[in-house]
A and B are shown apart, each in its own frame.
Chain A
Amino acid sequence: MLTIAAAIILGCCALGAGLCTGIGAIGPGIGEGNAVAKSCEAIGRQPESKGAVTSTMIMGCAVAETTGIYSLVISILLIFVAPSTFINILKSL
């Protein structure tokens, strides 16, 4: 019984980790792409503002990327920390 429960926990953790990073990485990818495409348009319209636009674009991309890293960290926790914690809880019951 405990083996089946542990297997279910492991499976759910792996599934959750995959979904977390998979879904969490979509947003920053689309957002960064859109931001850069629009910034390129702005540079095309006002080439003299290239430096300022590039600076702002770098900061914007860094901020957008953080959500991807959040989801990655959650996935790492789900893979390496959560299974042992849950199985220990299960054993103590």
Chain B
Amino acid sequence: MKVQAPVKTETRRIAVGVAVLSALMLIVFVLIGRFDWTVLWGTLLGGGYAVLNFFLMALTVQHAAEQMNGVTLPAEEEETGDETQPKQKEELPQQKMARSIVQRSYTLRLALTALVAVIAVKVPLFHAVPAIVAFFFPRIVITAQPLLQKLKKGE
């Protein structure tokens, strides 16, 4: 399966954001005097897994979107204003397939996340706190993106 441009672009963006946030977290640990090698390894484990998880999710979404290759639906019909009979739309088999692909992938990735979290907590080589905090970095990057774009535009 060829990795498409949107997947590459978004993963690169998330990876850069996670790297920046990881560096910030390490600086915070140094400033509060709690830095040691386990913090660094924990950050690498958590940050690395966060990016990997995002990439796997993006690949799954790409695979799900590919289910619609060669399928063309008619453009949406205009609203007639008749609300008495709600439209009952049947889901296409491709949509059902896409839904099941994503849900299966989500279950597997959640299990993998649990495994990584248990490793981070149980193995003394890793500090659990930075490893688990790093799982949330992609969300922070996504939330901060519109703000960063506004700042870039100078609004």
Contacts and interface: CB of A to CB of B under 8 A. Distances in A.
Interface of A: 21, 25, 28-29, 32-34, 36-37, 39-41, 43-47, 50-51, 53-55, 57-59, 61-63, 65-66, 68-69, 72-73, 75-76, 80
Contact of B106 (A32, A43, A50, A58): A32
Most chain A CB within 10 A, of B5, B54, B57, B64, is at B64
A51 B136 contact: no
**Interface size, B (range):** 35 or more
Interface stretch (B20-28, B37-45, B79-87, B92-100): B92-100
Nearest to B139: A66
B65 A39 contact: yes
B65 A55 contact: no
A50 B65 contact: yes
Nearest to B105: A32
Contact of A44 (B72, B101, B113, B117): B72
Most chain A CB within 10 A, of B74, B101, B102, B143, is at B102
Interface of B: 4-7, 9-10, 14, 54, 57-58, 61-62, 64-65, 67-68, 71-76, 91-92, 94-96, 98-103, 106-107, 109-110, 113-114, 117-118, 121-122, 132, 135-136, 138-139, 142-143
24 contacts: A25-B106, A33-B102, A36-B61, A36-B64, A40-B65, A44-B68, A44-B71, A44-B73, A44-B94, A45-B73, A45-B75, A51-B4, A51-B5, A54-B6, A58-B6, A62-B57, A62-B138, A63-B143, A66-B136, A66-B139, A69-B136, A72-B117, A73-B132, A76-B118
